[in-house]
Structure 1
């Protein structure tokens, strides 16, 4: 039985679930929106200051941004999930070890990615689908932004640990400050100093470094654990748990990266065979991907906001609170998905216009792509919330499977097969079919898990009655 002190010290175990979800999800949403804004703000200013080729270049570089996010979520969500489970079980030293090990891994992975990108920059960008016209812009942008990769990874990952420690507002602030700085510096560097792509990249890494410094300060002031030198000694057992619990969120981002690379190459190849050419599909798809990132940032923020609540209460064997938190999260995500559906169907041209001007053919393609590819966005909130739910309760393999359903199992094969018969339109129709299939699979596994939680809840109540 949990001690009275534990209950009094940590509101995760007793405060109303809806209030906790708001307190934790809102800062998570803002933090995720900030991550999206690093890309979308650059896209807007680059579109206005550089043009269509600049927009296409940021789309080519985008897989590296999702790679950074994948690593950050692997270590951040993995470390935070383990941290919450151990804290719920009153194992403070093991919780501290999880946080310390995660931070050491952040440094190793971040520096390794920077070195690899620096060495293999040009062949990597060509592999991502860069045409000869787009390549110089992508090289300029990526060469500078890669300097910020270690800071971006560490800041994003540490923010998840800060959240798990019960400080969602600080987690939000650490991300928000960098985005504000990036937004201020972008027009100064791009227009005022006429630095173009280099200015956008420089503004981005300055914001990332400042955000990292704010997050690093919290490392010395955790509320529920005390980090010691021993906490940073890598443990094979601890690292294995971090990787297992973070794999779901990581694989979801890796899946996005793989799909983006394949899609870029597909759009370039089939676009060149169509009336649109290779550059228009690349630029339009990049914009739509970034806009979708804003919507998905909200959904993923909700799913991550549930993590400390679900993880703590599952570790404390309060299964009723676990189930209620999940159901509230998935219902909220579905309502927001419906609002996104309305925006994407009614205002596609207005949204595209924010990112700069283009030809009538440019707008024609972008409107069709928006309306068709995003047609079933209304069910897109189910998969990330469910995937993170399974990870939070320690069922990492099921979480990984859920994270792969839409991107790898369904969307990737479809964007390869459909264009063989439908040309570039095949990419558009692959989206809604993959969305529907992923939602159905998540629903099947979810019903089974909710029944199991109800059984555990009844058994726990029966045991307490005895």
Structure 2
């Protein structure tokens, strides 16, 4: 959606400004970025940690169990894409409304978003009962009954009880939209710690609990999500005074929902493309062996550990940029973008060093067999190259979303994952075999970097530089 369209929706009668301005408009940018992003980065790091711990415990059951969980990634990614993408739309719209001092409109945006999350759960509930079995069959056929059975039990549990994840993300995004990221971090920590504690108990049948295997891993995950949702709801009720949820007499607003989706759908599509990518990669890799698919699954878990803090940074800067865009403060927007780029590079460079320097240790955490090490060590070293480029693309995408140009992020994601990555992986698999397939990741990231740079230069010229505050431009 174009900026002037969003602006047109926003230019309604403003409520009287509150006595104290939100910190996103007054606190020094360096301190604000630290204040907003660090709690989110820590909480996302813990989220990534429990994802890794989850797979470490599953890997102790068998390599087939790890493969079964890995094959669930595409639909899990779709679930997360809908949840977080809807949150992106709410974040940008709600923070902008607060920046323009329109608290009544912010309340309406929050309530309509809650309605969207409820409808989303109904969809995934139905999918949990209908699509899981054919989804697994399409990836591995019926050749390996053990992987099929474990995978269906795991994924069906995650989707049927997805109300925990959807509620958690909704209430956490309300907190981040108003600058209360410390409470969002608290809820995520509570959920993650719950998951980590319950994983071994439910997977291996400790402390009197029946041994549930991979289904136990799924159960621990959804219980952790429900705990996080309860904590996030409590924090909103007690501490979030900028936004109120009033459902009495509620009627859905087509205009608000449409605007939320105008910003959020590109993000949903962008992350859903990741679902298509993982599904396609699983189909390519399973032709070589189930071990190759397990290596790909391990890579995704490890990647989340290094990328989740970066996504936490993005969650912190989105409301800062959106708020100051609404307040017409170009200088604060530009400084936020610059500091975010520097921070993002430092984070991904750590990932690059680990993938290149200690791939055998990383794989060893997942009880890797000799065959898995033989495939996985060179794979991680090749894939790790893309960390040197990914930081710029990820932060640029966040800037696009915060300024209402989420379609740019969608285009970059389509270019990287569908137009380049999957075709390159398929072609390389036919020309050079399994070892060269992994080069598709750095190749795709180079294309993503070029397109992201072009879009960022354009958005600076057409949007940022036109904000008349007399500050230096990007």
TM-score scaled to structure 1, two decimals?
0.91
| Conserved? CA contact 1:383–1:403, under 8 Å | no
Distance in structure 2 (CA, Å) of the matches to 1:280 and 1:98: 46
Q: Aligned ranges for residues 329-348 of structure 1 at < 5 Å?
A: 329-348=340-359
Q: Alignment length, in residue pairs?
A: 451
Distance 1:323 1:163, change over 3 A: same
The one of 454, 465, 469 aligned to 1:460: 469
Q: Aligned ranges for residues 53-72 of structure 1 at < 5 Å?
A: 53-72=64-83
SS in 1 for 2:162: helix
Distance in structure 2 (CA, Å) of the matches to 1:34 and 1:147: 24
Are 1:224 and 2:249 an aligned pair?
A: no
CA RMSD in angstroms comes to 2.1
Distance 1:64 1:32, change over 3 A: farther
Structure 1: runs of 5 or more not aligned: 272-277
Are 1:254 and 2:260 an aligned pair?
A: no
| Conserved? CA contact 1:97–1:232, under 8 Å | no
The one of 299, 321, 337 aligned to 1:288: 299
The one of 282, 295, 298 aligned to 1:264: 282
- The aligned residue for residue 40 of structure 1 is 52
| Conserved? CA contact 1:155–1:211, under 8 Å | yes
Distance in structure 1 (CA, Å) of the matches to 2:167 and 2:51: 17
- The aligned residue for residue 234 of structure 1 is 252
- The aligned residue for residue 10 of structure 2 is none
- The aligned residue for residue 181 of structure 1 is 194
Segment drifting more, 375-384 vs 77-86: 375-384
| Conserved? CA contact 2:78–2:271, under 8 Å | yes
Spell out, residue by residue over 1:239-287, the C-alpha distance to the aligned partner (whole angstroms, 9 max, x if none).
1111111234322321111100000010011x1xxxxxx1110111100
Distance 1:61 1:267, change over 3 A: same
- The aligned residue for residue 149 of structure 1 is 162
The one of 172, 193, 201 aligned to 1:159: 172
| Conserved? CA contact 1:330–1:381, under 8 Å | yes
Are 1:212 and 2:222 an aligned pair?
A: no
Distance 1:438 1:106, change over 3 A: same
Distance in structure 1 (CA, Å) of the matches to 2:119 and 2:81: 14
Distance in structure 2 (CA, Å) of the matches to 1:143 and 1:217: 29
Distance in structure 2 (CA, Å) of the matches to 1:262 and 1:206: 30
| Conserved? CA contact 1:100–1:231, under 8 Å | no
| Conserved? CA contact 1:38–1:204, under 8 Å | no
Spell out, residue by residue over 1:221-253, the C-alpha distance to the aligned partner (whole angstroms, 9 max, x if none).
432133323695311110111111123432232
Are 1:124 and 2:135 an aligned pair?
A: yes
Q: Which runs of 4+ in 1 moved over 6 A?
A: none
TM-score scaled to structure 2, two decimals?
0.90
Distance in structure 1 (CA, Å) of the matches to 2:311 and 2:96: 20
- The aligned residue for residue 39 of structure 2 is 27
Are 1:86 and 2:104 an aligned pair?
A: no
Distance 1:5 1:95, change over 3 A: closer
Are 1:244 and 2:262 an aligned pair?
A: yes
SS in 2 for 1:77: helix
The one of 316, 330, 335 aligned to 1:324: 335
- The aligned residue for residue 194 of structure 1 is 211
- The aligned residue for residue 170 of structure 1 is 183
Structure 2: runs of 5 or more not aligned: 1-13
- The aligned residue for residue 274 of structure 1 is none
Distance in structure 1 (CA, Å) of the matches to 2:351 and 2:230: 34
Spell out, residue by residue over 1:288-335, the C-alpha distance to the aligned partner (whole angstroms, 9 max, x if none).
111001112111111121011000000010011111101110111012
Distance 1:367 1:441, change over 3 A: same
| Conserved? CA contact 1:101–1:231, under 8 Å | no
Shift of 1:454: 5.8
Distance 1:298 1:249, change over 3 A: farther
Shift of 1:406: 2.1
Distance 1:4 1:115, change over 3 A: closer
Spell out, residue by residue over 1:414-466, the C-alpha distance to the aligned partner (whole angstroms, 9 max, x if none).
22222222222342110110011111211122223334456324x3339xxxx
Are 1:134 and 2:147 an aligned pair?
A: yes
